[in-house]
Chains A and B, each alone.
Chain A
Amino acid sequence: MKRSIKNLTTALAAGAGVALALAACSSGPTADDPVTLEFWGWVPGLEEAVAQWNEENPEIQVDFFRMTGDDGDTIPASIDAGTAPDIVQMSVHSIPGHVVNNRLIDIAEHAEDWGDRFTESTWASVSFDGGIYAIPQDSGPSGMMYRQDIFDEHGIEVPTTWEEYLEAARTLKEADPDLHIAQFSPNETGHWLQTVWQNSGTWNGIEDDAWTVNVADQQSQDVAELWQTLLDEDLFLTVEMWTPEFWAEVNDGRIATINYAAWFPVLLEESAESTSGNWRVAPTPNFEGQDSAGDTGGSVNVVPTGTEDVEHAVAFIEWLNTSEDGLDHLISNGGIFPAAVDGLEHPALLTEREFFGGQVINEVFADAAVKVPATWVDGPTYDLIQDRLKDQFARVANGDQTFSEALDTVHDQAVADLRDMGLSVAE
């Protein structure tokens, strides 16, 4: 009884909302009576972008708040309390977690035809079960940053397959036991994720009305086998990424390649100044017979539950992420790697980089962006899976188990975590 009353009120409220929206549409906001939208984001230079929008659209004014970064705590709390802004930038991986908590609005009715404006993989990662819950902003296609001087010194050709990569690693190791082809960082699951993604894998999927857990699928097992070899033969240098220790190793030239996302080079430039000029970028090596690239996932713009003027919020998101002006702000001032196809040819993106010996490195990343398989599906427990992988990979690094065993453990945990949330899991 109680429930039906609640349903009735919800229906009435929804009806009132529709009526209001219709009323709003018929007259529409004007410059004298503008709509005001609140927008939280962290890309540098968004202030200028918003200022231009506000000037050109006096009837739709945007208030911008700068976040220092992706903020896992404040956004859900504010959406649940009904104080959320109308537009938020967030990590693409957190979308389904928010959707199952009713925190995001499905904007498919406004944006369902926009698929060809974005790279295939970024568009796939905002579409779930017929709904579209976000618009892609940036992405992190993978590339291989490598030390050309070290490769030259040891007569190594740039590897194009993981098989060749292993060979190169062994050659380096033989020449100098302190020299490693790459670092393994149990705490940084990005490398793992992008390689699984490159191999057309995923951690989760959707089958009819149930989630699947794919953490330990063959696509991941291939990566496990590759990494196990690198670890067993001592070709990996085990060091946590982002730590001073890691950067010291990079500066000392003990790590010959870093396979990572398009947003990484700028950090490398800053933190490894002493190695300037020695780096180049090549496509990430491939599994036998494939020609694909990985991705770490980027950020998106969403419309949180509680937003009244969805239509105009989406209009602003569209302008920011797909128009020439919007992309210009994001790329030139923000320094992002765009998810929009048009952005991939932007002149500000394709500049020569002194640190990389004058190479136009983003050509490599732009090529990679369109080669990322559209297979990745984030699940509602993405953060937990990531955290559990870290814990299990730590045990791999300590020699207590293999990558393959780690995957099996995380698979079981991930299934249990989804069931704990009351969700269906197909096995």
Chain B
Amino acid sequence: MGAPTVNRIPTRRRTEHTGGERPPIAARLLAWGVMLLVAFYFLVPVYWLIVASTKSTGDLFSTPGFWFAEFHLWQNVVDLTQRDGGIFWRWMLNSLIYSGLGSVLMTFISVISGYALAMYRFRGRTVVLAAVVGSMLVPQTVLAQPTYTLLVNMGLNNTMLGVLLPSLVYPFGVMLGYIYAQASIPRELLEAARVDGASEWRAFFSIALRLLTPGSVTILLFAFIGSWNNFMLPLLVLRDPSLQPVTVGLSGWSQAAITVPGLQTLVIIGALISIVPIIVVFVSLQRYWRSGLAAGSLKL
């Protein structure tokens, strides 16, 4: 049983907590009970999604929702792949491009902005900070229509760039970047670098960026999920289905499923497949982001 797993995460601020007596058996049993209830609550709808994705349309409505009927999963995947010339996989690819490329750029912009805000005192700094905070309060519904008109005027409607560029404005990321920079970059280190004659540019890229890596991973995770679920803007901007991300494509199918036969099961299997990349990203970033977020939260 050894040490609790949390201790595997290295943080600068924590002393390793080894040994320690095991909690009483009653407490552990209670904890197991609570955890099982919790897992049940959070996983049941996902379980339904998995079961439903193995059914044909007929069985979907005529067999019990929590148990498997005739196994139709493979056929559903084949149908999904064949529908409209395999457009679903194109959507998945688009989403990976928007979210992958988008979140990396978004993270870089957030980190460098947060760094500038945290490390320098300059004219206009308070204005930028206030704007960052204030803009998180703006409802998406205010922005959708004017942003679209703007993109049309810039000639960016129905292009990948038209979806990518606006999504790079991510005030929450800038705020996190600001918090992380404050928390994890000792000013003395930068002063020392400067004394050694390093340029501001070099100081950021060779010293700060490395220290900010754990925090960046957290921003990356949020940015990736945020842009994977981005919906309103791509819906307006992209008329060409082969450019759409998977959320928009599936939602279109889901609406059309009412009157177009054969779409219902595709929406379900598509939804299941569409959450896989996020889970992969989460699991693979799990060990990094904890420490990153941790460093920041203390400073909030």
A-side residues, CB < 8 A to B, are: 40, 42, 44, 65-69, 71, 73-74, 77-78, 80-83, 242, 244, 247-248, 250-252, 263, 266-267, 269-274
Contact = CB atoms under 8 A, between A and B. Distances in A.
B282 interface: no
B33 interface: no
Contacts of A267: 258-259, 261
Contacts of A271: 57-58, 60-61, 264
Given A81-B148, A81-B152, A83-B157, A247 B256 contact: no
Contacts of A274: 58, 62
Contact of B236 (A77, A250, A263): A77
B253 interface: yes
B232 to A, nearest CB: 9
18 contacts: A67-B252, A68-B255, A69-B255, A71-B252, A73-B236, A77-B148, A77-B236, A78-B239, A81-B152, A242-B258, A248-B62, A251-B61, A263-B259, A267-B258, A270-B57, A271-B58, A273-B58, A274-B58
B260 interface: yes
A74 B259 contact: no
Contact of A77 (B145, B241, B253, B261): B145
Contacts of A77: 145, 148, 236
B84 A66 contact: yes
Nearest to A42: B256
A346 B240 CA distance: 33
Given A65-B241, A73-B236, A81 B149 contact: yes
Contacts of A82: 152
Interface string B130-157: 0000000000000001001100100001
Contact of A247 (B61, B241, B255): B61
A74 B236 contact: yes
Contacts of B253: 68
Contacts of B61: 244, 247-248, 250-251, 271-272
- Which of A68, A73, A74 has the most B CB atoms < 10 Å from its CB? A68
B284 to A, nearest CB: 32
B158 interface: yes
B235 interface: yes
Interface of B: 56-62, 65, 84, 145, 148-149, 152, 157-158, 235-236, 239-241, 249, 252-253, 255-256, 258-262, 264
B152 A74 contact: no
Nearest to A248: B61
A244 B60 contact: yes
Given A242-B258, A263-B259, A65 B62 contact: no
Nearest to A335: B261
Nearest to A268: B261
A263 B62 CA distance: 22
Which of B62, B241, B262, B264 lies at the interface centre, i.e. has the most chain A CB atoms within 10 A of its CB?
Answer: B62
A362 B42 CA distance: 47
B152 to A, nearest CB: 4
A270 B57 CA distance: 7
Most buried by A among B152, B256, B258, B259: B259
B289 to A, nearest CB: 35
B89 to A, nearest CB: 16
- A-B complex: 3 closest residue pairs judged by Cβ atoms: A68-B252, A273-B58, A247-B61
Contacts of B256: 42, 68-69
Contacts of B236: 73-74, 77
Contact of B239 (A44, A74, A242, A269): A74
Contacts of A266: 261
Given A66-B84, A68-B252, A69-B259, A270 B240 contact: no
Given A40-B239, A266-B261, A272 B149 contact: no
B126 to A, nearest CB: 37
Nearest to A80: B149
B91 to A, nearest CB: 11
Contacts of B56: 273
Contacts of A78: 157, 239
A95 B256 CA distance: 20
B265 to A, nearest CB: 10
Nearest to B57: A270
Contacts of B60: 244, 247, 271
Contacts of B249: 68
Question: Which of A42, A74, A272 has its CB near the most chain B CB atoms (within 10 A)?
Answer: A74
A272 to B, nearest CB: 7
Contacts of A272: 58, 61-62
A69 B84 contact: no
Contacts of A40: 239
Nearest to B265: A270
Contacts of B252: 67-69, 71
A67 B259 CA distance: 14
A251 to B, nearest CB: 4
A189 to B, nearest CB: 13
Most chain B C-beta atoms within 10 Å of own C-beta, residue among A66, A77, A78, A274: A77
A82 B241 CA distance: 19
A74 B162 CA distance: 15
A44 B241 CA distance: 15
B264 A66 contact: no
A86 to B, nearest CB: 13
A40 B239 CA distance: 9
B168 to A, nearest CB: 22
A270 B259 contact: no
A248 B261 CA distance: 17
Given A68-B249, A244-B60, A274-B58, A81 B239 contact: no
A230 B121 CA distance: 74
A241 to B, nearest CB: 9
Given A68-B253, A83-B152, A251-B61, A270 B261 contact: yes
A69 B261 CA distance: 12
B248 to A, nearest CB: 9
A80 B61 CA distance: 41
Contacts of B59: 273
Given A81-B149, A247-B62, A271-B61, 19 more contacts: A65-B240, A65-B241, A67-B241, A78-B157, A80-B149, A81-B152, A83-B152, A83-B158, A244-B61, A244-B65, A248-B61, A250-B61, A267-B261, A270-B58, A271-B57, A271-B264, A272-B58, A272-B61, A272-B62
Nearest to A43: B260
A261 to B, nearest CB: 9
A69 B239 contact: no
